[in-house]
Amino acid sequence: MRGKVKWFDETKGYGFILSEVGKEYFVHWKSIVTASDRDRKFLVQDEAVKFDLMETDKGIQAINVIRLDPESN
């Protein structure tokens, strides 16, 4: 699935992604995929991402989130 970051708070470590069909999904920093485990895990408002969805006890969340153009930020 693809979408754009609606907002992400680096201090709190979470935010929301807006899918191409207009649904919002919660995202936690642990669900962001980076090239190395040492890379900082964050998202930037309005950047394009692709992601999977997972049902949790708190609802559907975005997981395996990949920043599509991280060099531009």
List Cα–Cα distances, 5 to 22, 38, 57, in angstroms: 12, 22, 23
Q: CB 16: neighbour CB atoms within 10 A?
A: 16
Residue 50 in contact with residue 15, Cβ under 8 Å? no
pLDDT in tens, 23-68: 999 999 999 999 888 899 999 999 999 999 999 999 999 999 999 9
Whole-prediction pTM value? 0.89
Q: Which two structure tokens, joined as six digits, stand for 12? A: 């709190």
Domain range summary for the chain, segments of one domain joined by + = 2-72
pLDDT digits (tens, 9 = 90+) for 11-26: 999 999 999 999 999 9
CATH superfamily of 2-72: Nucleic acid-binding proteins (2.40.50.140)
